[in-house]
Amino acid sequence: MLQGKVAVVTGGSRGLGRADALALARAGADVVITDILLESDRSAATTAEKYGVLSQFLQSSGAVYAEQTAAEIRTMGRRSAALRLDVTDREEVRQVMARVKEEFGSLDILVNNAATLDHTAQLENQRDDLWERDLRVNLTGTYNCCKAVWPYMKERGWGRIINMASVAGTLGGFGQASYSATKAGVLGLTRSLALEGARHNITVNAIVPGIINTEAFRLGNPKMNERMINRTAFRRPGEPEDIAGAIVFLVSDNARYITGISLNVSGGIELFTF
Domains, the chain, ordered by start: 22-29+90-265 (3.40.50.720)
List 65, 143, 152, 179, catalytic entry: 179
Report the first-to-last Cα separation within the chain, whole angstroms: 40
Q: In what order do the strands lie in the sheet with 30-35?
A: 80-84, 30-35, 6-10, 109-112, 159-164, 202-209, 262-265
Residue 54 pLDDT > 80: no
Q: Is the pLDDT of residue 159 over 80?
A: yes
d(CA 208, CA 165): 5
Q: What is the pLDDT of residue 185?
A: 98
Average pLDDT value for residue range 243-252? 98
Report pLDDT for 210.
96
Share of the chain above pLDDT 90, in %: 87
**pLDDT for position 246:** 98
Contact status, residue 16 vs residue 212, Cβ threshold 8 Å: yes
- The pLDDT of residue 22 is 98
pLDDT tens-place string over residues 122-151 = 999 999 999 999 999 999 999 999 999 999
Q: What is the pLDDT of residue 95?
A: 98
CB-CB contact of 176 with 126 (8 Å) = no
pLDDT (0 to 100) of residue 48: 79
Q: How confident is the model at residue 39 (pLDDT cuts 50, 70, 90)?
A: very high
pLDDT at 56: 82
Q: For the residues of the chain, what is the DSSP string, one character each?
A: --TT-EEEEET-SSHHHHHHHHHHHHTT-EEEEEES--TT-TTHHHHHHHH-HHHHHHHHTT---HHHHHHHHHHTT--EEEEE--TT-HHHHHHHHHHHHHHHS---EEEE--------B-GGG--HHHHHHHIIIIIIHHHHHHHHHHHHHHHHT-EEEEEE--HHHHH--TTBHHHHHHHHHHHHHHHHHHHHHGGGTEEEEEEEE-SB--HHHHTS-HHHHHHHHHHSSSSS-B-HHHHHHHHHHHHSGGGTT--S-EEEESTTTTS---
pLDDT tens for each residue of 64-95: 999 999 999 999 999 999 999 999 999 999 99
Assess contact for 183 and 163: CB atoms under 8 A. no
What's the pLDDT score for residue 63?
Answer: 81
Whether residue 179 lies in the annotated active site = yes
8 Å CB contact between 119 and 130? yes
At residue 58, does pLDDT exceed 80? Answer: no
